[in-house]
Each structure stands twice: as structure tokens, then as C-alpha cells.
Amino acid sequence: MNMDSTQPITWRRYGPSGLIFTFSDHAGEKVFERLHSVAETIENSPPPDLVDYFRGYTTLTLEFSEPSAAHLESLAVELANAWNARPPLESESRLIEIPVRYDGPDLPRVAQHAGLSVKEVCSIHLSANYRVHMIGFCPGFPYLHGLDPRLNTPRLDTPRTLVSAGSVAIGGEQTGIYPVNRPGGWNIIGHTLEKLFHPDLARGGNPEKAFLLRAGDLIRFVPAR
Amino acid sequence: MSPPLKPVLRVLSPGLGLTIQDRGRPGFGRFGVPRSGAMDPHAFTWANRLLDNSPNAPSLELLLQGALLEVLSDAWITVCGADLACSVPRWRTVRVKTGSHIEFSQNKSGIWAYLAIEGGFGNPAEHYFGSHSTYADAGLGKRFEPGDLLHGLGGPEPRLELPPSVASRLVPWDEHRDYRFPPPLRVWPGPQWELFSERDRSRFFENDWTTTSRSDRTGYRLSGPTLKSGVTQILSEAVLPGSIQIPGVGQPIVTMNDGPTVGGYPKLGLVEPADLSWLAQARPGTKVRFTLAH
């Protein structure tokens, strides 16, 4: 077995009833694929007393209703097995197109930082497929991996008090879409009319339906008509 | 068939903030949905308990001062939590009469007050991810405005029946809290505890921290000595309510119920969940101290 696949997972306590498992010291597509399969294991057979779980780039955080030590040993073994089993990412990742109008106020800033024209920035941003590594921060916010490094742009020194829902933005080496109005420090390069979060669909027994995107999806930006 | 909705209060003024809260909606972290729920579960729980409500019955959460409500139907209510100079007494059951007003005119101590009613407040059409808690930023419920009607979830008949010789039911005295003087709050080491020097960890526990006005349902900012973790960003990972995040400027932000579910600041610790309600009620300028939990 190759050493790379048996990198030990580590865990730390996170308060009286939380555990945070770290699977790698760096993020990336390969790490994501394996972490995704571990998350699916949790989803399909949640450990007893699990209240909530959260994905990170290299971590899974589990929150229990009881002090967390009880099942720790067997849980750590189970998660390590899922990590090492390395099943391929479900072959049918959804590919979702997001129509974007590149009219954001920070487009010139991004272009200037990259030493490119605004037009080049748009075409580079349009040309990649992005993987949703996780949903977090606020309801439906996708953390997208795959931004062309030429477009990496530092966050604003002073965050805006309001970034409107639908804003497409770049923060450091990440790009994302604000699903709801939020304060935020990312560079806004455009906007989409797609709704990433539908509160009206959050009332039924099928919470997934309230969200346009989920971890594992591939997305592609296309020019809005 | 569910009983028809009964308006029990009319909002004449929402004051600085008026929402509905229950125990929140844990279980949707992987969708980025914060758990929300009552900022002070201690006062929230007593408000319901006095009325024989379910422990998760939604109640009104009132911020600081200024709310004025008109009673549209006779009811038993309770007001627990912050002292907002309420026109009805706190920490006990009160029978309010149709046409009377309930006023929260002035903030005297604490931040959040809870007004509970028999059966709870709420609207089945505003029940999102299993909870009535308002999270207006994402369109889950709304912040109330003048003229809004507040509905009761209970049936049309009063349920609370006290023996004839008993006028009211009270919260025991030792459960009334003086929010000006929180006890030392227990803190569990956080996921990035090791990133902080022993010196900075000691400084965190040995100094007073002051709550600031840059605080809301998403997070409370504290001011005190500057702490350094050596890193300004970690790879984004879960942030549980009560987390003590240390951003680059070195002043802690304690994540609260409506805070982001994922973040990239190092987390020094996590406030013991049972103690977090004390911090929630600490007005700007309150001194708080922390002690290592074990």
C-alpha cells in the first residue's frame, strides 16, 4: 500500500461534545475526493448521538448530543477506513451552469492586480470548471476550488457592510457566490440571477431542495444573456 | 386540522429588535445554516417552564429596549431575562388582559428578554428546517415591524390553571440572574489551542475582557490585551457557537448563534455551552473573565 494513502488522521476535541478530524495538511482536488467519501459515510450511517456535522477543506467536525469521548475509538477507525478505501468520487458529479454578468465594482481592481485587461479576467474566470468543496459560512454559500491562480486577489482591506445576494466574487485564491445579503470582504466581479438558496423550500421535509448546490458539484460560469 | 391561527399581540413598536426564537435548528451545518435560537437559553427555558410549555416552545426575543405590544386576547405570559423596565413583572406568570399594553421602556441590565405565552408564538408557515427561530438575514422569518400581528400556536382556551389560592408561579430567587456580574466563564481548549504561546494562553485567562458594542446575534467582540497565534488564517473549517476566534488584530470574537458555520480564524477555545448565556447577556462594557474548563 502506498504511504500516501495511509496518512494518519488526527482528531482534536472541540468543546465538551465536538470532535474535529483532520485528514490532510493541505487542500486540493485529491484530498477533496477522499474527504467527500468520508462525509458520505457519515451521511449514510451517522454515528449515535450525532447532532450536526460540518465539512472543511481538510476536516470534518462532528457535534454530539453527549460528551464526545464515548465512541471515539471506533469512530476514528471507521473514518480512517473510509479515508483509506478511497472510492472514486461518484461518477455523476452534477455539472451546473451559472449565468453571470461581469459587472462587479471590483473587476478593475482584480484586473489591475493580475496585470490583465478586464476582458481577459472575465474570459479566464469563464474558462474553468469549479468544484464545490463545501457549503458553509451562510446558507448555501459554495466554497469553489479551481480558480486560475492569475486571478488570486487579496480581500478588501475594509469589508463592505452589504454584499447583495447573487454577487460573484473572488477572495484570495477562492471564488464564490453570495447566496444571501451579507457583509463581506471579497472582490465583487459580477452577479447572477440564479437563486442559490430558496427559503420557501426550507419548510418541507426535504431540506436539500432549498439549496441549488451541494458539495461535490461541478460548476461552470457562462455569460448571462 | 390545525386550529386557526389566533393573533394574541399586536406590535406597536418592535424596539431595537424583536424576533421569534426557540432552541434553534442544529443539524444543517453542512448547508451553511447557523443554528440560531434563543441567545440566553437559561431565561428562555424558565419563561416556558413557568407556563408548562414544551421546552422548545417559540417565544419572543426582545433586544435592549423600546418594544411596545398590545394584547389582543387575554393570556398567561411570562417575561424572563434582561431587565428592560417591563411594565409587567419578570420571572413570574402574569395574566394580561385584552387591550392592555406591554412596554419595555428602558434597558437596565442584560440585553435579551424573553416573552413567552401559553403554547408558544409562531406561524406554521414560518417553520424552517424544523424551527421557528427567526434568521432574517437569510429570509427565515422576519424582524417584526409596527402593525405586525403575533400569533399563538396554542389552542383557543387557556391551559395554565393555578389553584384558587395561588396568584402566580415564580422562578426561584437563586435562578434570577444579575447580568452585570457574570461568573468566570469556563472555556474548553479550541482546535488551534496549540498555535498560541503559553504566554498568550495565560494572558487570556489572567486578564479581564470587556464586551464591546460591536456585538450582535452573529458574534461578540471583546477587548483586552492583544493575542497572537502566529498565523492569521487557517484552512476554513467548522466554527461552533461559543468559539473564541482570534483574528489578525488579536482581539477575540466569540461566535454566537447566527454566526458563520465555517471560518478561517484560529480558535483559541470554546466557551462552555452552559455558560454562553452569561456572555450573551453581558452589555457593552461588562468585564468578563475566563477559566479553563475540565
Span B68-102, pLDDT tens digits: 999 999 999 999 999 999 999 999 999 999 999 99
Residue B153: pLDDT band with limits 50, 70, 90 = confident
Answer whether A143 sits within 8 Å of B262, measured CB to CB: yes
- Between residues 239 and 268 of chain B, which touch chain A (CB distance below 8 Å)? 240, 242, 260-263
- Number of domains composing chain A: 2
Distance from CA of A121 to the nearest CA of B (A): 26
Q: Report yes or no on A108 lying in a domain.
A: yes
Answer whether B260 sits within 8 Å of A59, measured CB to CB: no
A113/A201 same-domain check: yes
Answer whether B238 sits within 8 Å of A12, measured CB to CB: no
A62/A123 same-domain check: no
Q: Report yes or no on A63 lying in a domain.
A: yes
- For position B5, what pLDDT does the model report? 78
A107/A196 same-domain check: yes
**Whether B26 contacts chain A with CB within 8 A:** yes
A63/A110 same-domain check: no
- As for the ipTM of the complex, it is 0.90
Choosing from A37, A63, A85, the residue where a domain stops is A85
Cell 417584526 belongs to B144
Q: Report yes or no on A90 lying in a domain.
A: no
Q: What is the pLDDT of residues A36-91, one digit of tens each?
A: 989 988 988 898 889 999 999 999 999 998 776 667 778 888 888 888 886 666 65
A177/A100 same-domain check: yes
Answer whether A134 sits within 8 Å of B262, measured CB to CB: yes
For A155, half-sphere exposure in the C-beta direction (CA atoms, 13 angstrom radius) is 12
H/E element holding B276? helix B276-280
Query: If we measure between CA atoms, which residue out of B55, B24, B54 comes closest to residue B38?
Result: B24
Query: If we measure between CA atoms, which residue out of A158, A225, A216, A218 comes closest to residue A186?
Result: A158
Q: Report yes or no on A28 lying in a domain.
A: yes
Q: What is the pLDDT of residues A201-211, one digit of tens each?
A: 888 778 889 99
A105/A79 same-domain check: no
Q: Report yes or no on A77 lying in a domain.
A: yes
Please say if the pLDDT value at position A1 is more than 60: no
Neighbours of B85 (CB within 10 A): 12
- For position A2, what pLDDT does the model report? 37
A49/A119 same-domain check: no
CATH of the domain at A206: 2.40.100.10
Average confidence (pLDDT) over B231-247: 90
Partner residue opposite B236 with nearest CB, options A17, A53, A56: A56
Which residues lie below 8 Å from residue B174, measured CB to CB, with a gap of 6+? none
Q: What is the pLDDT of residues A105-146, one digit of tens each?
A: 999 999 999 999 999 999 999 999 999 999 999 999 999 999
- For position B2, what pLDDT does the model report? 59
A126/A196 same-domain check: yes
A53/A100 same-domain check: no
Distance from CA of B31 to the nearest CA of A (A): 5
> Which grid cell sits at B182?
457574570
Residues of A in contact with B26 (CB under 8 A): 51-52, 63
Domain extent at residue A195: 95-223
Choosing from A67, A85, A103, the residue where a domain stops is A85
Residues of B in contact with A39 (CB under 8 A): 30
Closest chain B residue to the Cα of A141, Cα to Cα:
B32
Distance from CA of B97 to the nearest CA of A (A): 34
> Which grid cell sits at B163?
389553584
**Whether B24 contacts chain A with CB within 8 A:** no
A60/A134 same-domain check: no
Neighbours of B32 (CB within 10 A): 26
H/E element holding B178? none
Please say if the pLDDT value at position B46 is more than 60: yes
Choosing from A85, A116, A149, the residue where a domain stops is A85
Answer whether A136 sits within 8 Å of B189, measured CB to CB: no
Answer whether B128 sits within 8 Å of A199, measured CB to CB: yes
CATH of the domain at A26: 3.30.1360.40
Answer whether A18 sits within 8 Å of B32, measured CB to CB: no
A103/A184 same-domain check: yes
Please say if the pLDDT value at position B276 is more than 60: yes
A181/A201 same-domain check: yes
Answer whether B191 sits within 8 Å of A203, measured CB to CB: no
Q: What is the DSSP string of B208-232?
A: -EEEEEEE-SSEEEEESS----S-S
**Strand runs (DSSP E) across B85-162, as ranges?**
93-96, 101-103, 109-117, 149-152
- For position A87, what pLDDT does the model report? 65
Average confidence (pLDDT) over B162-174: 85
Which contacts of B91-96 are long-range, i.e. CB under 8 A and separated by 24 or more positions? B91/B46, B91/B170, B91/B171, B91/B175, B91/B176, B92/B50, B92/B168, B92/B169, B92/B170, B92/B171, B93/B50, B93/B51, B93/B160, B93/B162, B93/B168, B93/B169, B93/B170, B94/B168, B96/B71
Partner residue opposite A199 with nearest CB, options B34, B140, B273: B140
Q: Report yes or no on A144 lying in a domain.
A: yes
| Number of cross-chain residue pairs from A and B with Cβ atoms under 8 Å apart | 128
Average confidence (pLDDT) over B205-213: 96
Whether the CB-CB separation of B218 and B254 falls below 8 Å is answered with no
Q: Report yes or no on A49 lying in a domain.
A: yes
| Domains delineated in chain B | 6-175 (no CATH), 185-292 (2.40.100.10)
Answer whether A16 sits within 8 Å of B273, measured CB to CB: yes
Ranges A159-168, B14-23, B232-241, most confident:
B14-23
